[in-house]
Chain A
Amino acid sequence: MVDVFDIYDKMERNNILLSFKGEITSDLLTSILQIMENKMDNMQEEPKMKKKVYNVLVECLQNLYHHLDEVADTEIDKNRSAIFMIGKTEGKYSIFTGNYILNENITGLKNRLDEVNSLSKEELKEYYKKVLNNGEMSMKGGGGLGMIDIARKTGEKLGYNFLEIDNKVSFFTLNIKITQQN
């Protein structure tokens, strides 16, 4: 029997506003963005914060959307599934995402995250411009700009973890904080 109260209680204690587990589709992204926009309007979130949260949400969700394909092509069906949560505590938003990743891709992703986390605000700006201008555009995404953009807009380090599931895949979690900046 699924312990529904346990799931509810955990979400309640972490002040989760919205969560989703399943396949990330284009239509789902549209719906999640719309729901979060309405919620922030209802909470009378200030426009500046609302814009930041919206922007970061778009990048996080589209990262999930684009990267699910990579694992799904080679692996079993459950790997198309991802988890997404957004919570708000004392005026700070927290976004959590989790998805499967091929073990062979961990090092590359970890290096990119560490690089982004090592840079100052000014360095991130220069790095962003460099990747924007010289970087290769992948067929689907922004070619690595997403994480840089998130770090720039939030001014926070990107929290992450890789949990090894078996010799092929791991579960990658990303935690992004958005705090009020003036």
Chain B
Amino acid sequence: MDKYTIEGTPKTPSISFDLSSGVLEIKGRSIPENSIEFYKPLVDSLDKYSGAAKAATTVNVQLEYFNTSSSKCILDVFKKLEGIHKGGSAVTINWHYEEDDEDMLEAGEDYQAIINVPFKMVMVAE
């Protein structure tokens, strides 16, 4: 029951966060004009989850596009996950990118360099 979900739109991704199994999925496009407003509920639910985190937390990020305004919010989400990782839940971030999308791979590597959580770069065939 403890689940936070949001449907995707042309400018915002779908989000599914199952707090009882520790699986978070972010998929689609993230290009809203106001990304702070969009990501706040997710950041809040991560705060809630951090108090009762599972032994393992799996995060699947599969974005087609994201704007620079979202990039800051995604970093905030990852920083929350870093805290959860430090708190004892084994967090893994699976960063998906399409085969020909070097920019998306590089974006994942940028986060990997900043955030102290294991990242896996997952190539998706088109």
Contacts and interface: CB of A to CB of B under 8 A. Distances in A.
Contacts of A137: 36, 72
Q: How large is the interface on B (under 10, 10 to 19, 20 to 34, 35 or more residues)?
A: 20 to 34
A53 to B, nearest CB: 11
Interface SS of chain B: helix
Q: How large is the interface on A (under 10, 10 to 19, 20 to 34, 35 or more residues)?
A: 20 to 34
Interface in A84-132: 125, 128-129, 132
A55 B70 CA distance: 12
Contacts, number: 70
B10 A48 contact: no
Interface SS of chain A: helix
| Closest 10 pairs between A and B when the two form their complex, measured CB to CB | A142-B68, A145-B68, A142-B69, A137-B72, A149-B68, A48-B100, A146-B68, A58-B31, A58-B67, A133-B114
Interface of B: 10-11, 31, 33-34, 36, 65, 67-72, 75, 98, 100-103, 106, 110, 113-114, 126
Interface of A: 26, 29-30, 33-34, 47-48, 51-52, 54-55, 58-59, 62, 65-66, 125, 128-129, 132-133, 135, 137, 139-143, 145-146, 148-149, 153
